[in-house]
């Protein structure tokens, strides 16, 4: 208990350290990546995952990451999600330089600042939807009653109010992914990351999941989604394309704008 508090206070002070933070005026940026490289060392050979990435993502953006298999999308997402660290370069998340953090600090950041959604849902199979959603709050030491109530609210939010006590294997793929999204929202993180969240879903469920991300984006969340499908990327505002570990294009998505305008006119 004592150790936990010391860690927390340490991180809090560290966050205050002026040289670790970007100037206040730049705080509308949620993500800044500077000259980032990632090399995998397999022992027998070195594989370049990412080369010299420079990028900023502002708060409230809805971004798609696209590119062929092996182009570096997951490598990039794992760094954004603090599951992995760059070999060279800097990653500032919410103004904090992640590249300099130790493991304990990274897991604190992951829990507080990032909600991660995976292609294979990654739910714990022997626990209910509610308990799955409660888990990140348990790590964040949220009291039991409060986390139960919040988990139920989040499940209602993703349309699963009637399923809170169901096990993952009693649900469809789309429903499991909704549980995973509710879990990602548990600690109200500023950043939501999803690596091929619709990769295991049929078209109808994929659209439902993307509509849910669109709603979260409209409510102010920053969402980054990896996808192979243009139809899925069409939901976002900005499309970043990778090839061979590099960004080859980074464009505003005009289709989404016209879609949103259309929606505005008809509603
Ligand atoms: N743990 C690892 N060890 C060694 N090389 C790796 C590792 N993970 C990824 N790579 C390599 O890094 C490069 C980028 O892989 P990455 O998984 O980021 O691609 P991706 O764009 O997500 O592909 P996909 O669309 O198939 O998911 C590939 O050449 C891959 O072989
Ligand atoms: Mg991948």
Q: pLDDT digits over 197-248, tens only? A: 999 999 999 999 999 999 999 999 999 999 999 999 999 999 999 999 999 9
In angstroms, the CA 130 to CA 51 distance is 40
CATH number of this structure's domain 61-82+103-266, picked from the four choices 1.10.3210.10, 2.60.40.3500, 3.40.50.10440, 3.40.50.300: 3.40.50.300
pLDDT confidence of residue 45: 92
Please give the distance, rounded to the nearest whole angstrom, from the Cα atom of residue 244 to the centre of ligand 1.
Answer: 10
Ligand 1 atom showing the smallest separation from residue 38 Cα = 12
Backbone φ, ψ for residue 58 (5° rounding): -85, 160
Pairing label, strands 246-252, 88-93: unpaired
Burial 132-143 (b: 16+ CB within 10 A, else e): bbbbbbeeeebe
Confidence of residue 25 (pLDDT cuts 50, 70, 90): very low
Please give the distance, rounded to the nearest whole angstrom, from the Cα atom of residue 161 to the centre of ligand 1.
Answer: 37
Q: From the CB of 44, is ligand 1 less than 6 Å away? A: no
Mutation probe of ligand 1 site: the residue of 74, 83, 247 with most atoms within 8 A of C-beta = 74
Is residue 53 predicted with pLDDT exceeding 60?
A: yes
Q: How many percent of the chain have pLDDT more than 90?
A: 76
Is residue 23 predicted with pLDDT exceeding 50?
A: no
Ligand nearest to the backbone CA of 49: 1
In angstroms, the CA 14 to CA 108 distance is 13
Integer angstrom CA distances of residue 205 from 110, 195, 197, 208: 27, 16, 11, 5
Ligand nearest to the backbone CA of 39: 1
Q: From the CB of 73, is ligand 1 less than 6 Å away? A: yes
The arithmetic mean of pLDDT across residues 70-74, rounded, is 97
Q: pLDDT digits over 6-20, tens only? A: 666 666 665 555 545
pLDDT confidence of residue 87: 83
Kindly list the domain boundaries of the chain, sorted by start residue.
Answer: 61-82+103-266
């Amino acid at each position: 208990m004592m150790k936990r508090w010391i860690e927390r206070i340490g991180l809090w002070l560290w966050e205050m350290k002026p040289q670790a933070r970007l100037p206040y005026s730049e705080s509308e940026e949620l993500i800044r990546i500077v000259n980032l490289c990632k090399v995998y060392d397999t022992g027998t050979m070195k594989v370049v995952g990412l080369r010299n990435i420079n990028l900023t993502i502002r708060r409230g953006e809805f971004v798609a990451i696209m590119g062929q298999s092996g182009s570096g999308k997951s490598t990039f997402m794992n760094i954004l999600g603090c599951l992995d660290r760059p070999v060279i370069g800097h990653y500032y998340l919410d103004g904090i330089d992640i590249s300099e953090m130790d493991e304990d600090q990274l897991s604190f950041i992951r829990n507080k600042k990032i909600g991660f959604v995976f292609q294979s849902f990654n739910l714990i199979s022997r626990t209910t939807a509610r308990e799955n959603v409660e888990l990140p709050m348990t790590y964040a030491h949220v009291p039991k009653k409060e986390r139960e109530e919040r988990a139920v609210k989040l499940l209602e939010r993703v349309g699963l109010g009637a399923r809170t006590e169901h096990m993952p294997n009693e649900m469809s793929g789309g429903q499991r992914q909704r549980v995973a999204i509710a879990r990602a929202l548990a600690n109200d993180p500023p950043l939501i990351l999803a690596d091929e969240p619709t990769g295991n879903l049929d078209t109808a469920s994929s659209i439902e999941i993307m509509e849910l991300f669109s709603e979260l984006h409209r409510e102010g969340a920053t969402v980054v989604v990896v996808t192979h499908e243009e139809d899925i990327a069409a939901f976002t505002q900005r499309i970043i394309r990778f090839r061979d570990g590099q960004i080859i294009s980074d464009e505003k998505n005009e289709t989404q704008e016209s879609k949103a305008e259309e929606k505005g006119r008809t509603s």
